[in-house]
Structure 1
Amino acid sequence: MEVNSKQQVNFGDRLVSPDEKTRRVGGVFSSVAGSYDVMNDLMSGGMHRIWKNRFVAKVKPRSGERVLDMAGGTGDIAFRMAARGATVTVSDINADMLAVGMERARKRGIDGLFWQQENAEKLIFADGSFDAYTIAFGIRNVTDIPAALREAHRVLKRGGRFYCLEFSTSEWPGFGEVYDRYSEHVIPRIGKAVAKDEESYRYLVESIRRFPRMEAFKSMIGEAGFTTTSVEPILGGLVAIHGGWKI
């Protein structure tokens, strides 16, 4: 369902107005931008690097292709795709996250990336601008997810592909329950100790729990106009790679 200004939406486990959610999510990522990559290593035991490599291998970026990496923030996905020859535009609604990414690219000597502050729900790019659209660990923080999916479809060329890497719910017996306890009790404490921000990481845990399960999100991608939709679960669905094509 499309979000309008009179509806309330979830900011983690709390109900707020759409505008307030957008503002609060912005505050979360401004707060954690400087420690974002360190926290990812600590929370996942470094496994996020494996997931991202697998994700980019699935996208198969090629030399000469134009790729929009939405919610690209600190550049992890963009760096991997640029290494394969793609021309990558890194977009994020949060200027602080983009600033971290640009500084990381400078230190690594990575040139040729385009950095642009954008709202995934209202992109300024023309129809059919990109060969591929990627978003990793960002879609669950969008206020109006169906609007973002429609925009992804709009800015892709015919034959373009959409790929999303996101947390979901593990369907492995017992594993999901163990991870729930870990995420609820441990991740906020790591956030407090490392990022000096327990509440932001409590929100991020809550946002994972609120995100649609794999098949439901796959259906949402189809409803946005994509065909040949797919989902590849990792760790039983704790993380999932979703895909779709614009035909």
Structure 2
Amino acid sequence: MSKQDVQETTHFGYEQVPVTDKASKVADVFHSVADKYDIMNDLMSAGVHRLWKRYTIETSGAKKGDTILDLAGGTGDLAAKFARIVGPNGLVTLSDINGSMLENGRQRLTNMGIAGNIEYVQANAECLPFADNKYDLITIAFGLRNVTDKDAALKSMYRVLKPGGKLMILEFSKPVVPGLSTIYDQYSFKLLPLIGKVVANDEDSYRYLAESIRMHPDQETLKGMMDEAGFERTSYHNMTGGVVALHTGYKF
């Protein structure tokens, strides 16, 4: 059998799919959930996702005049806060690979009166269309697990980050509190798809989201991947017993 006959695969949730198909499958999920994304986030996390994001912003070190890239920024939760922090002399780039999510973010921030220091760019995190050494800060919240080639994405982020700049990855991770994994599994695989079915009429997409969390690298593995991509002083902070972790790294 030749190499051409063996098609490389990757995971889409628990399903193995051709590498070339994953991005479009993930896109279908987020096209489907875009209009209910904010409501579902509140229901899925009982509103705790807002605290996770607030902690990310508070520890970001963002300041007036900064250039910030919010990757997989979806409906703009982080971008809206950062736009107010950086002020008129700063710039926030809200980027998402999914056009439906990005448009929802644009409409939401426009309705909030945020304009002038924010731009919207549809882009794949694996091959960012930005100049080298452009951003003071890069954030990606609950998006890295959906990227097909995470190593390529991390290297792309490193390239566009300024020397002295900071990367922050907020993502679901592996619970570290004894007994929490069992409770978390029951919630993720029974209650979460049911919520998706009732609220968003989309049980399958929310089952995928639960599965994608389980397939994401654990805390130490992701830290090692950041090290391999060139980031220094990498660390992570567990929240809610490790259900979520905030990874940080710097480019020097």
- TM normalised by structure 2 equals 0.95
Residue 47 of structure 2: aligned partner: 46
1:87 deviation in Å?
1.9
- Distance in 1 (CA, whole Å) between partners of 2:57 and 2:9 is 35
Q: Deviations over 1:155-176 (max 9, x none)?
A: 0111111000000011101112
- Distance in 1 (CA, whole Å) between partners of 2:121 and 2:80 is 15
Which entry has the higher C-alpha Rg, 1 or 2? 2
Partner amino acid, structure 2, of 1:104: R
- Distance in 1 (CA, whole Å) between partners of 2:110 and 2:30 is 21
Residue 37 of structure 1: aligned partner: 38
CA RMSD of aligned residues (A): 1.0
- Distance in 2 (CA, whole Å) between partners of 1:157 and 1:43 is 35
- Once the two structures are aligned, what percentage of the paired residues are identical? 49
- TM normalised by structure 1 equals 0.96
- Distance in 2 (CA, whole Å) between partners of 1:91 and 1:182 is 30
Q: Are 2:67 and 1:66 aligned?
A: yes
Partner amino acid, structure 2, of 1:89: T
**Could you tell me whether the CA contact under 8 Å between 1:63 and 1:87 is conserved in 2?**
no
- Distance in 2 (CA, whole Å) between partners of 1:154 and 1:236 is 32
Q: Deviations over 1:72-108 (max 9, x none)?
A: 1100010111121252100000010011001111211
**Could you tell me whether the CA contact under 8 Å between 1:122 and 1:148 is conserved in 2?**
yes
1:100-115 map, 5 Å: 100-111=104-115, 112-115=117-120
**Could you tell me whether the CA contact under 8 Å between 1:66 and 1:87 is conserved in 2?**
yes
Partner amino acid, structure 2, of 1:145: K
- Distance in 1 (CA, whole Å) between partners of 2:8 and 2:229 is 21
Residue 137 of structure 1: aligned partner: 142
Equivalent pairs counted in the alignment come to 243
- Distance in 1 (CA, whole Å) between partners of 2:227 and 2:57 is 21
Partner amino acid, structure 1, of 2:236: V
- Distance in 1 (CA, whole Å) between partners of 2:134 and 2:58 is 22
1:6 deviation in Å?
3.6
Q: Are 2:90 and 1:94 aligned?
A: no
1:145-184 map, 5 Å: 145-184=150-189
Structure 1: 4+ residue segments shifted above 3 A: none
Structure 2: runs of 5+ lacking an equivalent: 1-5
Partner amino acid, structure 2, of 1:61: A
- Distance in 1 (CA, whole Å) between partners of 2:209 and 2:242 is 17
Q: Deviations over 1:136-194 (max 9, x none)?
A: 00000000000000000000111111000000011101112101111110000100111
